[in-house]
Structure 1
Amino acid sequence: MALIQTSLIWVAYAVAVVLLLVIAAVFVFIYQAPRDRAASVTTVCIFTMSALLATVLLIPVDIALVSSTSNSSEGRKKDWATPNHVDDIVHTLKIVYYTLYSLDALLCLIVIPFTYFYYEEYDEDATEVGEQTLGSRLWGAFKYTIAFIVLVVAIFLIGFFVPFAKKAKGDSRLDLDYFKHLLQQNHGERALSFALGLLMTIGTLLYVLYTGAGLALLPVALIKSAPSISAPSLAANTASQLEQNRERQRQLDGRNEGRDGGLDSRDRRELKALIREERTLIRRERLAAESSGEDRHWLVKSWIKVEAVFRPLKLIGGLLFMLLALLVFTSMLITAIDKAKNSVCKAHCGYILGYLNIFQPVNYIFVKASKVFPVDYILFLLLVLFLFSSSVVGIATVGIRFLWLTVFKIRKGHTSPQALLVATVMLTLIVLAINYSVAMIVAPQYATFGHQTFCDRPARHPGEQPDCTHHHRAIKPCTELSDNPVAKDVCTPTVLSSFINGVTIDFPFFGVILFWSQFAFLGVYITVFLTTLFRTPKLDEDQLDRDLEEDEEEGLLASTGRRFGATWQDITGRTRKNNYGSTETNGERS
């Protein structure tokens, strides 16, 4: 029975990883510029995003496996959950975690920089004449990557030799077995803890800015993006109007040829107006082509049609996402205040909280859902994808910046390979920060012990487990502060919570930054959210004029009538023809 349950949990994880691979591929193909597509960049970005999302989605697997060893209704270990069996489960999870974390770090710090320089080394003219070979490109990219290799080695050496935090070792409040276990790490584990703590801290700074803004902007983007006219109809109407415009310009040019003094003032004004209108129609034609996915990868075209199918539900989805964001915001605020006030040892251990003192809705939902696997897994997948999508929206809106200067812009179908690689690094760091935020702030009890409980009653005979079959009030949830000897044998903390809490205890400065940054995240979210209630913030002044032009064109698509007809035309890719042979859209004929 135990083997079947464990196998089902890992099978569910494998299915989720395959789904994540598809999601990562869709993201890359949607955002990258088709004309600048490079196989090396595409492969690395897809693989990296799949790996980092797989790391986050290992959390519910971790929780489900350690929770499966406990009978929560009776507050004791199951008969098959011997200490050796539990140790095997924890050891397997550690191997998977260390493998994925190490892979994420290497991809972020070495593989992606190498791919970036490899792409930059390409010279089409030199390749055609034989002056540049594959070996020269690889060597050129490796030379620039040496600096990143030295950086990785330095980080791990610092983590390997840095001593334990003296305050943590001498703090009497950490005498419980749970905290002693966290301090018993070898030098290799500590080196990895330091490296990931550093990357997690850097990622938190990006998480505050981009995910905080994206969490507020994503629901608004869904609500405001439901057009009433389909892309095929817009393209057909625009082509017809453009032909009429150019025909009128030819007529005026022909009239000009027969006059010595040129066109009169009225005709000149008309010609100038036609030229301005022609530019607008050309932009609108390009917008329609992009919206319909012309000359794009088949995966992008499929995604556009899927978007069209669900377009009528965008308004409802946007409102639901807004409620979900507010729920996450409320839960994070409750936990953050609770930790700041009631933490066991404050900054000495990264504000570890023994147990929640205030009702926290998201944590409550996950703890209850964890009793029926894979309900909590599905909910956790949706939460992670929501935060990941918010991060993407935040990066696309704010852009990749250095201080006030925009370095790269992230736009659908217009993202350069260099920008895509940099965005992948940013998302890797952000997802590490999401790892901390979800496990320590959004649902801390769920991420630490799941639904495990223990029987807070003495055993009848030595060597036996206490019996709470008829004393349900004595069944208590497992917490970090459980000093009952029974709790030590029954409660098994998740590998992730032990790892993160170990980082914050060994290196308290990481814990302080990670914790207080959550308040900054909440501040960015509420600021952007309140701003979007009145207007959409314009964060890119350099592109303001072009955005206004495109917003005006998209505004023609954003009226509220007859959305379902437009949706059907986007799905089929065809427009309706009336009896006169002209295109007809929403009751209008061109």
Structure 2
Amino acid sequence: MALLQSSLIWIVYAIVVVILIAVASIFFYTYQTPRERSASVTTACIFTLTALLATVLLLPVDVALVSSTNLPKEGRRKSWATQDEVDKITFSLTVTYYFLYSLDAVLCLVVVPFTYFWYEEYDEVATEEGLQSWRKRFWGAFKYTIAFILLTVILFLVGFFVPVARNRDAPNFDLDYFKKLLTENHGERALTFALGLLITIGILVYVLYTSAGLALLPVTFIKSAPAISSPTLSANTASRLEENIERQRQLEGRCGGDPDRLPSKQRRELDSLVREERTLRRRQRLSEEARRERGSWLLKAWFKISAVFRPLKLLGGLLLLAIAMLVWVSMLLTSIDKVMNSVCKQHCGYILGKNNIFNPVNWVFVQSAKVFPVDYILFILLVLLFFCSSVVGIATIGVRFLWVRIFQVRKGHTSPQALLIATVMLTLIALALNYSISMVVAPQYATPAQN
């Protein structure tokens, strides 16, 4: 019975991971520029995005496995849940957590930077002329990656040793002490610090982009404007352009080609027609470009299906707006509860012994956790809500340094460099999201002992 339940939970998780690969592939296929597609960039982005989403979605697996050993109504473990069985479950979860978090760190700090420099080192002209070999390109990317890793390691070491040095009473530090510090707890302290630093950076990105996207995502559904590649819009643009040009010809015919001879009213009309012509020609050019780039039969079918179900987008947008408001209220209530009722306050991260204020999202997850995989489905939908909000936020704000926009992220117009940086940003957001869900959105759900 124990093996059957555990196997079923892990099988569901494996199926979800396979679905995540498809979701990540569709996401990058939709956003990347067709003319600048790179196999290495696409592979690295898909693998990284799948790994980070798999990390976030491991939480309900943890809850389901731990909850499967208990009888909440009787307040005891099930008959098969011996200490050895519980230890096996705990060990498998621990190994999976360490593997996924370590994989996220390696992908974010090594694989993605190397892929970025690998793409930047490519010179099409030099390659065609035989001046750039595979080894030369690899060495160039490797040098920059090593420099990036060294800089990152220096920052990690400074942040790792300074707090220890500040809190230690001994006046000197010998080599044996530092060796002991690095080897104690089997490297757990080093991994914890690295993840803590990444989560701290991720919180900043999460607050900026996900919050904006959570507000804008329902609006994008409610404001369902027709696509610029729509045949109807293209025909209307061409018709209006013809009318505009014809009217300009009439006005120019009256003045013999000299606008100064026209009355002031008609002169203003001519100026307005000239500005409108520029707008219509730009819209027509964008429509033609979109039509050429979206020539795939799969995308054509998708656009036709979207047109059929477009009336439902309004209802979906209103539903998303209600869910976003519910999530925001739940996070606000938990934050108020932590500030008011935490015993140790900022000294322990505002940890709560129990929930004192009702949290609607937390209550829904706690109740649904009694029947697996209902809570898992709801958790996936919640993660997808935050993920889509993050994507919308990044697409709207762009990749920026303070007020300077470095890259734009748009459907069908995103460069490989922008995709890699956006992937790192989504990785950091996912790490912050894992912390946010377990500590703010649904804290009681993430601690089955309180359920």
Taking structure 2 as the reference length, the TM-score comes to: 0.86
Question: Which secondary structure state, in structure 1, belongs to the residue aligned with residue 446 of structure 2?
Answer: helix
What is the Cα deviation at residue 349 of structure 1? 2.1
Counting matched residue pairs gives 431
Partner of 2:394: 395
Partner of 2:128: 128
Partner of 1:103: 103
Are 1:65 and 2:50 an aligned pair? no
Are 1:343 and 2:342 an aligned pair? yes
Partner of 1:31: 31
1:147 and 1:317, CA in 2 relative to 1: closer, same or farther beyond 3 A? same
2:218–2:320 CA contact under 8 A, matched in 1: yes
Once the two structures are superposed, the pairs formed by residues 188-587 of structure 1 within 5 Å of their partners are 188-227=187-226, 231-242=230-241, 265=261, 276-289=275-288, 294-295=293-294, 300-449=299-448, 477=450
1:231–1:291 CA contact under 8 A, matched in 2: no
- The CA deviation string for residues 424-449 of structure 1, in whole angstroms up to 9 with x for no partner, is 11111011111100011100110111
1:44 and 1:230, CA in 2 relative to 1: closer, same or farther beyond 3 A? closer
1:410–1:419 CA contact under 8 A, matched in 2: yes
Partner of 1:179: none
Question: Which secondary structure state, in structure 1, belongs to the residue aligned with residue 405 of structure 2?
Answer: strand
State the alpha-carbon separation in 2 of the partners of residues 155 and 83 from structure 1. Answer: 42
- The CA deviation string for residues 515-561 of structure 1, in whole angstroms up to 9 with x for no partner, is xxxxxxxxxxxxxxxxxxxxxxxxxxxxxxxxxxxxxxxxxxxxxxx
1:104–1:428 CA contact under 8 A, matched in 2: yes
Partner of 2:83: 83
State the alpha-carbon separation in 1 of the partners of residues 251 and 419 from structure 2. Answer: 47
State the alpha-carbon separation in 1 of the partners of residues 37 and 302 from structure 2. Answer: 18
Partner of 1:118: 118
What is the Cα deviation at residue 105 of structure 1? 0.9
What is the Cα deviation at residue 152 of structure 1? 4.6
State the alpha-carbon separation in 2 of the partners of residues 78 and 332 from structure 1. Answer: 34
State the alpha-carbon separation in 2 of the partners of residues 126 and 392 from structure 1. Answer: 36
1:159–1:193 CA contact under 8 A, matched in 2: no
**One-letter amino acid matched to 1:327:** L
Question: Which secondary structure state, in structure 1, belongs to the residue aligned with residue 236 of structure 2?
Answer: helix
Q: Which moved more, 1:341-350 or 1:187-196?
A: 341-350
State the alpha-carbon separation in 2 of the partners of residues 305 and 436 from structure 1. Answer: 39
Unaligned runs of 5+ in 1: 168-184, 453-476, 479-590
Question: Which secondary structure state, in structure 2, belongs to the residue aligned with residue 447 of structure 1?
Answer: coil
What is the Cα deviation at residue 374 of structure 1? 0.7
- The CA deviation string for residues 133-170 of structure 1, in whole angstroms up to 9 with x for no partner, is 22111111111111222245446656876777999xxx
1:159–1:195 CA contact under 8 A, matched in 2: no
1:106 and 1:228, CA in 2 relative to 1: closer, same or farther beyond 3 A? closer
What is the Cα deviation at residue 308 of structure 1? 2.9
Are 1:50 and 2:24 an aligned pair? no
2:368–2:374 CA contact under 8 A, matched in 1: yes
1:331 and 1:272, CA in 2 relative to 1: closer, same or farther beyond 3 A? closer
What is the Cα deviation at residue 400 of structure 1? 1.4
1:342 and 1:296, CA in 2 relative to 1: closer, same or farther beyond 3 A? farther
What is the Cα deviation at residue 227 of structure 1? 3.7
1:290 and 1:79, CA in 2 relative to 1: closer, same or farther beyond 3 A? farther
State the alpha-carbon separation in 2 of the partners of residues 397 and 377 from structure 1. Answer: 30
1:262 and 1:385, CA in 2 relative to 1: closer, same or farther beyond 3 A? closer
Unaligned runs of 5+ in 2: 168-183
State the alpha-carbon separation in 1 of the partners of residues 227 and 399 from structure 2. Answer: 32
1:399–1:409 CA contact under 8 A, matched in 2: yes
Q: Which moved more, 1:296-305 or 1:50-59?
A: 296-305
1:18 and 1:233, CA in 2 relative to 1: closer, same or farther beyond 3 A? same
State the alpha-carbon separation in 2 of the partners of residues 416 and 137 from structure 1. Answer: 20
RMSD in angstroms over aligned alpha carbons?
Answer: 3.1
2:228–2:290 CA contact under 8 A, matched in 1: no
**One-letter amino acid matched to 2:30:** I
State the alpha-carbon separation in 2 of the partners of residues 434 and 221 from structure 1. Answer: 22
Q: Which moved more, 1:262-271 or 1:149-158?
A: 262-271
1:161–1:187 CA contact under 8 A, matched in 2: no
Taking structure 1 as the reference length, the TM-score comes to: 0.67
**One-letter amino acid matched to 2:217:** L
Partner of 2:7: 7
What is the Cα deviation at residue 68 of structure 1? 0.4
State the alpha-carbon separation in 2 of the partners of residues 165 and 57 from structure 1. Answer: 37
- The CA deviation string for residues 308-344 of structure 1, in whole angstroms up to 9 with x for no partner, is 3432111111111111111111111111111122224
- The CA deviation string for residues 284-307 of structure 1, in whole angstroms up to 9 with x for no partner, is 224444666744555544543443
2:228–2:283 CA contact under 8 A, matched in 1: no
State the alpha-carbon separation in 2 of the partners of residues 187 and 162 from structure 1. Answer: 20
